[in-house]
Structure 1
Amino acid sequence: MKKIVLTLLLVLGSMTIEAQELTWHTDVNKASEIAIKTKKPLLFFFTGSDWCGWCIRLQKEVFTKPEFATWAKENVVLVDLDFPRRKQLSPELTKQNNELQQMFAVRGYPTVWMVTPTMVDKKVSFEKLGSTGYVAGGPEKWLAGANQILANKK
């Protein structure tokens, strides 16, 4: 019995570690370069990390799960676009996030946009694939919707 419990703890622990190994970029230009090289779309996560209950719930119920980690590593480059209330972001990061918020007409949080970046005259532009937000039902339901959005990729 102890061996079974120990084995389950090890398996669950390794899944948690795998989910934590995801890289969430904050610099959109750097993330765009990676996305262009790897031919993957960007996943923009517009969040209020320290105040938005639905954002925190989306992270807890989906983004920290091993299913999401596996999917994300294969399909997208992750970008965290935070709008915190209690912590201070650098002026450059605040400016970048505000510009993207306006560009994508984000009116509420969480909002997740999937986009394909392209480089035109050393400037990044984005082709919108689709957006989503919090979806009840755990990673399976959220990923099903995300896969439908990615199906719009040319």
Structure 2
Amino acid sequence: MKLLFALLSLFSVPSTGWLLDFEKAKQAAQNENKYILLNFSGSDWCGPCIQLHKEIFDAEIFEKFSMDHLVLVNADFPRSKKHALSMDQQKKNDQLADSYNKKGIFPFTILLTAEGKVVKTWEGLPSLSADQFIKQVQSIMHAGK
């Protein structure tokens, strides 16, 4: 039984919370028929990034919405050694930035199809409440169906 639980834990993708692996996120989005929300963040140095997470992404209403409609991916670029990423994760984040954030904007949030096609971008901290952000995402999702 413990082995079964361990295997299920290893291969299941959490619906809530932020994934770190974009390829796994694309697979989950395809399997669950969801969009991907990719956020480029500097979690320990970027004030607007921290504010975005606090005011929108950590809001209960956003967490509930994202569970049903989004696969969340966080590409973090911390600066302090204490928050340093593994070399593998840093490489993955650099590759994501090369593909989706060539200008190096922080925060930078992207709504993508399950296949990785960009449908909407937000540069910097959106001047929206969590509810307004959700409505904007819903509007884009409904237009795409």
Is the Cα contact below 8 Å between 2:75 and 2:93 reproduced in 1?
Answer: yes
Aligned counterparts of 1:102 and 1:151: Cα–Cα separation in 2: 29
Task: Give the unaligned 5+ runs of structure 1.
Answer: 1-20, 119-125
Aligned counterparts of 1:103 and 1:143: Cα–Cα separation in 2: 25
Is the Cα contact below 8 Å between 1:131 and 1:149 reproduced in 2?
Answer: no
Q: Given the superposition, is the C-alpha separation of residues 59 and 106 from structure 1 closer, same or farther in structure 2, using an over 3 Å criterion?
A: farther
- Percentage of identical aligned residues: 29
Q: TM-score, normalised by structure 1?
A: 0.74
| Mapping of residues 61-72 of structure 1, within 5 Å | 61-72=55-66
Task: Give the unaligned 5+ runs of structure 2.
Answer: 1-14
Aligned counterparts of 1:105 and 1:137: Cα–Cα separation in 2: 21
Is the Cα contact below 8 Å between 1:114 and 1:150 reproduced in 2?
Answer: no
Poorly superposed stretches of 4+, deviation over 2 Å: 144-154
Letter in 2 for 1:101: A
Partner of 2:106: 109
Q: TM-score, normalised by structure 2?
A: 0.79
Letter in 1 for 2:119: L
What RMSD in Å do the two structures reach over aligned CA positions? 1.8
> 2:111 aligns to what SS in structure 1?
strand
Partner of 1:127: 117
Count of residues paired in the alignment: 127
